Structure 1
Amino acid sequence: MSFKIAIIGAGSVGFTKKLFTDILCVPEFRDVEFALTDLSERNLQMIKSILDRVVEFNRLPTKVTATTDRRAALEGARYIISCVRVGGLEAYADDIRIPLKYGIDQCVGDTICAGGILYGQRNIPVILDFCKDILEVAEPGAKFLNYANPMAMNTWAAIEYGRVDTVGLCHGVQHGADQIAEVLGAKSRTELDYVCSGINHQTWFIDLRLNGRKIGKDELVAAFEAHPVYSQQEKLRIDVLKRFGVYSTESNGHLSEYLPWYRKRPDEITRWIDMSDWIHGETGGYLRYSTETRNWFETEFPQFLESAARPIDPAKRSNEHASHILEALETNRVYRGHFNVKNNGIITNLPQDAIIESPGFVDRFGINMASGITLPEACAATCISSINVQRMSVHAAISGDIDLLKLAVLHDPLVGAVSTPEEVWQMVDEMVVAQARWLPQYADAVPAAKERLSKSRIKTREWAGAARRDVRSIEELRAEKTALKQAV
């Protein structure tokens, strides 16, 4: 088979390499063309040299091109994969730093909450530019696979306003299933059958069966509480499991910032999180991890390049959905996964216009979702709170209405648990001014926001957060990796 796959934001080096090798695990895909595009010429050349090394070592006919000209990369593409982070780590740092001044402590800040909402404001205009190019120069009927966060907002904008065939993809469900299989003593995840449904980063395992036997709440709670690691790392998730009756897909840190109960006070944050790794609730944890990962890659690039000269092993193909979706569409080998699409009756007790994440099957006829799913009421209520925030955020991003943006932030569960309306209004002004270069839709609102900030008397504080860690140096990272190897 010969067709073109464009990857936007291909400078996300590790993830791009994973997608690339996954796709090349499909024998029929050895002749495809990969067109890489990114704003950074330097990052593009680094990832291209890595992928070229993979192709050369495995003696493949695969073609890899790289260009900062996005339309050239998209021209004739059948599939477009987006991994973009608009504003990079510079804007992301403000997503964490500015809300902290108002007492809002986030672990990740890329889905909702103050950081995720502003992230969506930066991404959505760019996503619509992608959609415009796809409609104009890609292969007719091209499919847009969005991996970029905030997943629901980006996918919502691409479907409703971009008018492109779009599916949002995430790996949270797979990671949650791996945990459940482990605590239940399964030999592999294939023994676990499950229905997981909700919205991205708030998806719920509403039906669990181990080798055909239904697993109830009490058995699952007991299994997690008995686990020597997860009982400490996932205290918040286990508490939600006890109260809601079902397990959430998302990590302790992710889940903590979508709810109004666990990160509202510093003492509560330290009670519920675990500092063994960023993903369990550390303040700004993903920002620190992303910064360290970037620094490590830039320093250790020769090592990454050398490690690319290895055989592609289909047995090591990851559980990221993209390669499996492409394989199903092109070869008709049926694939079952969890996909982000517009609801339209798939989940009966969530709004019809929402972007939901739920089970579906893929074959040559497309992505076919299992419909008629009803969530437990507590899960639906939590999802609806986020959906309302997402809807307002998308509409604000499209219209450039800063008042609607402030209302979206005000209605966020964690923001509402921590901040007053006056604080929210000032915080949004501050974030929009700080990120103005990435927010063209708010250009007319920036002068007035600056004027309001100059007259404001609302007190803020310089606060690192309840559980902040410093970015580690390359030397510290190298010593840690050496110690881990020696321990093994």
Structure 2
Amino acid sequence: MSFKIAIIGAGSVGFTKKLFTDILCVPEFEDIEFALTDVSEHNLAMIKAILDRIVEANKLPTKVTATTNRREALEGARYIISCVRVGGLEAYADDIRIPLKYGIDQCVGDTICAGGILYGQRNIPVILDFCRDIREVAATGAKFLNYANPMAMNTWAAIEYGKVDTVGLCHGVQHGAEQIAQVLGAKSPKELDYVCSGINHQTWFIELKLNGRPIGKDELISAFEAHPVYSKQEKLRIDVLKRFGVYSTESNGHLSEYLPWYRKRPDEIARWIDMSDWIHGETGGYLRYSTETRNWFETEYPQFLEAASKPIDPAKRSNEHASHILEALETNRVYRGHFNVKNNGVITNLPQDAIIESPGFVDRFGINMAAGITLPEACAATCMASINVQRMSVHAAIAGDIDLLKLAVLHDPLVGAVSTPEEVWQMVDEMVVAQAQWLPQYAHAVPAAKERLSKSKVKTREWAGAARRSVRSIEELRAEKAALKQAG
């Protein structure tokens, strides 16, 4: 087979390498072309060198090109994969820092909440540019695989306004299933059969079977509470399981910021999080992790390049959806996964226009969703709160409507639990002004926002958050990795 895959945001070096090696685990795909594109020439050069080394070491005919000219990369592409972070870590730091001044403590801030909503405002204009280029220069019927957050908002914009065949992809369902299989004592995650449905980062395991035996709420609660690690790391997640009756795909930290109950008072946050790793609730945890990962990669790049000389091992192919979807579409080997698509009746008690995450099957005819799923009422209610925020956020981003943007933030569950309307209005003005270079649709609104900020009497505070850790130095990271290697 010979076709072209374009990867936008290919400078996300580690993730691009994973996608690349996964795809090349499919024997029929060795003759394809990968066209890498990114706004950073530096990152592009690094990832191209790594992928060239992989191709050379495995004696493959695979073609790899790299360019900052996106349209050139997209020309004739059958598949386009996006893993962009518009504004990079600079804008992301503001997504965490500014809401903290108003008492909003986020662990990740990339889906909803104040940070996720502004992230969407930066992404959506760029996503629409991608879609325009796909329509104009990519292969007829090209498929857009979006890995970038905020997943639902990006996918919503691409489908509704970009008019491109789009699917959103995430690995939260797979990771949640691995956890459940582990606490139930399964020898392999493959022993667990499940139906998981909802919206991205609020997906729910509504049916579980281990080797064909149904698993009920009480058994699952007991298994998690008895686990020596997860009982401490997933306290909030287990509490939601007890109250809702079903387990959420999302980590303790992620889930905590989509709900109005657990992060609204600083003295309560420590009760529900665990500081053993960023993902369990640390303030700005993913920002710290991302910063450390970038610094580590820049410093240790020669080691990453050397590691690329190893043979590709198909047994180590990851459970990221992309390679499996492409394999199913091109070879007709059926793949079952969980995909982010427009609802259109798949989930009976969520809106038709929402972007849902639910089971589907892929073959040469495309992605075919399993329809007629009904969520438990509490799960649907929680999803609905986020969907309403997402819808307003997408519409605000398309129109450049700062008043609608403020209403979207006001209706966010955690923001609404913490902040007053006056605080929300000022916070959004402050974030739009700080991120103006990535928000072209709000250029007309920036002068008035600056004027309001100069006259505002809303009080803020300089606050690092309830559970903030400093970015570690390269020396500290080396010492930790050495200690883990010795202990393991």
TM-score (norm. length: structure 2)? 1.00
SS of 2:471's equivalent in the other structure is coil
CA shift for structure 1 position 436: 0.2
1:270 and 1:309 map into 2 onto residues whose CA distance is: 44
Instruction: After TM superposition, give the deviation of residue 88 of structure 1 in Å.
Output: 0.1
Where does residue 400 of structure 1 map in the other structure? 400
Match of 1:198 in 2: 198
SS at match of 2:444: coil
Question: What do residues 25-81 of structure 1 show as CA deviations (whole Å, max 9, x unaligned)?
Answer: 000000000000000000000000000000000000000000000000000000000
The residue that corresponds to 1:134 in the other structure is 134
Distance 2:229 2:482 in 1: 22
User: 1:248-298 CA distances to partner (integer Å, 9 max, x unpaired)?
Assistant: 000000000000000000111100000000000000000000000000000
Deviation at 1:366, TM superposition (A): 0.0
CA distance in structure 1 between the aligned counterparts of 2:190 and 2:289, rounded to whole angstroms: 31
Could you tell me how far 1:330 is from its partner in structure 2? Answer: 0.0
Aligned equivalents of 2:347 and 2:228: distance in 1? Answer: 35
By how many angstroms is 1:359 displaced?
A: 0.0
Report 1:42-441 matches (<5 A): 42-441=42-441
Report deviation, 1:315: 0.3
Task: Please state whether the residue corresponding to 1:371 is helix, strand or coil.
Answer: coil
Structure 2 Cα separation of the partners of residues 216 and 484 of structure 1: 36
For 2:268 and 2:354, the matched residues in 1 are separated by 31
Task: Give deviations 1:231-261, integer Å, cap 9, x for gaps.
Answer: 0000000000000000000000000000000
Return the alpha-carbon distance in structure 2 between the equivalents of residues 410 and 190 of structure 1.
42
Q: Distance in 2 between matches of 1:258 and 1:190?
A: 29
SS at the partner of 2:287?
helix
Secondary structure of the 1:300 match is: helix
Mark the runs of 5 or more structure 2 residues left unpaired by the alignment: none
> Offset of 1:338 from its aligned partner?
0.0
Identical columns (%):
91
Shift, 1:134, TM fit? 0.1
Tell me, in whole angstroms, the C-alpha distance in 2 between the residues paired with 1:11 and 1:269. 35
For the residue of structure 2 that corresponds to 1:204, the secondary structure is: strand
| Matches of 2:355 and 2:267, distance apart in 1 | 34
What secondary structure does 1:328 align onto? helix
Q: Per the alignment, in what secondary structure is the counterpart of residue 361 of structure 1?
A: strand
Deviation per residue, 1:84-117 (Å, 9 max, x gap): 0000000000000000000000000000000000
TM-superposed CA distance for 1:438, in Å, is 0.2
1:298-322 Cα offsets, whole Å, 9 max, x none, are 0000000000000100100000000
Question: What per-residue deviation string (whole Å, max 9, x for no partner) do you get for residues 395-423 of structure 1?
Answer: 00000000000000000000000000000
How many Å apart are 1:333 and its aligned residue?
0.1
Q: Which runs of 4+ in 1 moved over 3 A?
A: none
Measure, in 1, the Cα distance between the counterparts of 2:415 and 2:487.
42
- Residue 8 (structure 1) shift: 0.1
Any idea what the Cα deviations from partners look like across 1:136-186, whole Å, max 9, x if unmatched? 000000000000000000000000000000000000000000000000000
Q: Distance in 2 between matches of 1:45 and 1:269?
A: 42
Aligned to 1:158, the other structure's residue is in SS state: helix
- C-alpha distance in structure 2 between counterparts of 1:92 and 1:462, whole Å: 18
Cα separation, 2, equivalents of 1:314 and 1:244 = 39
Distance in 1 separating the partners of 2:314 and 2:334: 17
In 2, Cα distance between equivalents of 1:473 and 1:36: 30
Measure, in 1, the Cα distance between the counterparts of 2:149 and 2:378.
25
> In structure 2, how many angstroms separate the alpha carbons of the residues matched to 1:310 and 1:368?
37
The alpha-carbon deviation at position 477 of structure 1 amounts to 0.2
Aligned-residue offset at 1:337: 0.1
Deviations 1:423-451 (A, max 9, x none): 00000000000000000000000000000
